[in-house]
């Protein structure tokens, strides 16, 4: 499972997929000289409105938190035998 972390002025916000529209909204607000963008919650709730402005430090990080891929028997055999499956 991929989770995105948005860091704005030292505060972290964890976001669900997809984030493409959110990135576009943030960029649009910054290009317009500033504006509020709603940051959706990771699970449920109303989210939070953040005022983005030019020069504001924004950092995007993509985290793989696992959970989607269960190891298969073949993967277990490859690991035990030292086979490089890639």
Model pLDDT, residue 3: 83
In a domain, 22, yes or no: yes
Q: How far apart are CA 6 and CA 14, in angstroms?
A: 6
In a domain, 86, yes or no: no
Q: How far apart are CA 41 and CA 62, in angstroms?
A: 16
Please answer whether residues 4 and 22 qualify as being in contact, where contact means their C-beta atoms are separated by less than 8 angstroms: no
Q: How far apart are CA 23 and CA 36, in angstroms?
A: 13
pLDDT tens digit sequence for 39-53: 988 778 888 999 999
In a domain, 26, yes or no: yes
In a domain, 65, yes or no: yes
Number of domains, the chain = 1
**What predicted TM-score, i.e. pTM, was given to this entire model?**
0.68
Q: pLDDT above 90 covers what percent of the chain?
A: 40
What parts of the chain have a pLDDT lower than 70?
Answer: 67-86
Q: Residue 72 belongs to what domain range? A: 2-81
Model pLDDT, residue 85: 47
């Amino acid at each position: 499972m991929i989770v995105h972390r948005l860091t704005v002025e030292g505060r972290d916000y964890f976001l669900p997929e997809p984030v493409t529209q959110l990135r576009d909204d943030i960029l649009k607000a910054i290009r317009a000289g500033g504006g509020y963008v709603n940051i959706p919650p990771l699970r449920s709730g109303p989210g939070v409105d953040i005022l983005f402005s030019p020069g504001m430090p924004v950092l995007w990080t993509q985290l793989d938190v696992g959970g989607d891929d269960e190891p298969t028997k073949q993967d277990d055999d490859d690991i035990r035998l030292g086979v490089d499956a890639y």
